[in-house]
A = this chain, B = another copy of it.
Amino acid sequence: MIEIEVKARAEHQQVKELLTGMGAVLIGVQHHCDTYFNAPHRDFGETDEALRIRSVDGRSVMTYKGKKLDTVSKTREEFETEIDGGNTRSILLALGFYEAGVVKKTREVFRYENMTICLDNVGSLGEFIEVEITAESDVEIHTKDIFLFLAKLGIGEEDSIRTSYLEMVLLNNISEQCEEKKG
Contacts and interface: CB of A to CB of B under 8 A. Distances in A.
Interface stretch (A19-27, A91-99, A168-176): A91-99
Given A40-B41, A41-B40, A41-B41, A79 B91 contact: yes
Q: How large is the interface on A (under 10, 10 to 19, 20 to 34, 35 or more residues)?
A: 20 to 34
A95 B64 contact: yes
A84 B87 contact: no
Interface in A64-100: 64, 66, 77, 79-84, 87-88, 90-91, 94-96
A94 B81 contact: no
Contacts of A80: 84, 87
Interface of A: 39-42, 49, 51, 62, 64, 66, 77, 79-84, 87-88, 90-91, 94-96, 183
